[in-house]
Amino acid sequence: MLYGAMRDMRDGDRQPLLLCGRKEQLDALMEALGGSPGAVPDAAAQLFAVRRLRAEDPRRLARASVAVYGGTIVSGLDEQTRADLEVFGRVATRKLALLEALDLPSPGVTAAGRVRGLQPAMIVPYRRGRFPTRRVLEELADRCGGSGPWLASQLPGLRPYVIENVIETAARRNAKAALMIFIPGADFPVLTAVQMRMVLAIANAHGQPITTDRAVELLSVLGAGFGFRMMARQLLDVIPIAGWAIQSTIAYSATRAIGTAANEYFERGAVADASRLRALAEGIKIEVEQRLRRRAG
């Protein structure tokens, strides 16, 4: 199980971000990703086409983990920007269009969301001079798929958003697994496998090599999960609510706690010792208790 997870991380996707469109918007994105355009590794984020898009561009842009277009809207959607977006809409990969407008809401932005191949959810509009760094990085982290941890290792501005996405995805997956598996203890291998992959993805996002020693450290971090089973038994005794609800809530919270501890370890090089893990567990126990009591009441 562990070696399978390690293999998955080692052989993971390494598809870059490919940026196209107008230079001003793309420069703002490059700065958000990790500094000035020259400081961002070309392997991770490439200025593919700082020009008007051409009919042959979608085929080459399709090799991106996320294709990003930067453009401007003055009032309505002008013909040149519309033509760019029509080409961009044909790109067969995940897409994000960053549109700088004089003011919002804008009929031009609404029209852009109706271009064939695009949807309103693929467009991030913003007022001139107010580049929405946080939202753009969150949208990229949500879209970059299996290339996310590798991109995060290369692009420090993107890293915290990818890691948060990894942790939240794993926590939701484990909450669902705990909800669907009714035999006590039968969910443990499933939850552990998800947690292993989560922590290995976090290590990869920090650019940390995965060795046998790291695997042992990984298991020690995951060992914190055992404390949450005892928590579940304690809560079953004091809160009048279905056991499946407690199991699902704790599976979610435990996975988030383990992800937080792992991120601290790889970020700071500090071992998530027993006292730190106990403190995390106690805080989450209180949070879960309050949440479940509200549901029961």
SS3 195: helix
pLDDT band for position 195 (cuts 50, 70, 90): confident
Domain-embedded: residue 216: yes
Q: How many residues does the chain have?
A: 297
C-beta of residue 18 within 8 angstroms of C-beta of residue 67: yes
| This model's pTM is above 0.85 | no
Question: What is the pLDDT at residue 41?
Answer: 74
Claim to verify: residue 79 and residue 209 sit in the same structural domain: no
Query: What are the pLDDT digits (tens) for 83-133?
Result: 999 999 999 999 999 999 998 999 999 999 999 999 999 999 999 999 999
Claim to verify: residue 210 and residue 277 sit in the same structural domain: yes
Claim to verify: residue 137 and residue 19 sit in the same structural domain: yes
CA dist., res. 286 & res. 213, Å (int): 34
Query: What are the pLDDT digits (tens) for 19-76?
Result: 999 999 999 999 999 855 556 777 899 999 899 999 999 999 999 999 999 999 988 8
Q: Indicate the number of domains in the chain.
A: 2
Backbone angles phi, psi at 56, to 5 degrees: -85, -5
Among 200, 234, 231, CA closest to 218: 200
Claim to verify: residue 103 and residue 50 sit in the same structural domain: yes
C-beta of residue 267 within 8 angstroms of C-beta of residue 206: yes
For residue 105, count CB atoms less than 10 angstroms from its CB and return exposed for 0-12, middle for 13-18, buried for 19 or more. Answer: exposed
Among 261, 255, 223, 253, CA closest to 235: 253
State which residues form the domain around 93: 14-147
Claim to verify: residue 133 and residue 162 sit in the same structural domain: no
192 pLDDT above the threshold of 70: yes
Q: What is the CA radius of gyration of the chain?
A: 22
Tell me which of 84, 117, 147 is where a domain ends. Answer: 147
Q: Which residue has the tokens 């392997």?
A: 43
Query: What are the pLDDT digits (tens) for 223-273?
Result: 554 455 555 445 444 444 445 556 777 788 878 888 887 888 788 765 555
Domain-embedded: residue 6: no
Domain-embedded: residue 76: yes
Claim to verify: residue 94 and residue 176 sit in the same structural domain: no
Claim to verify: residue 40 and residue 124 sit in the same structural domain: yes
Tokens of 270: 């500090």
Question: What is the pLDDT at residue 79?
Answer: 94
Domain-embedded: residue 119: yes
Domain-embedded: residue 43: yes
CATH number of the domain that 53 lies in?
3.40.50.2300
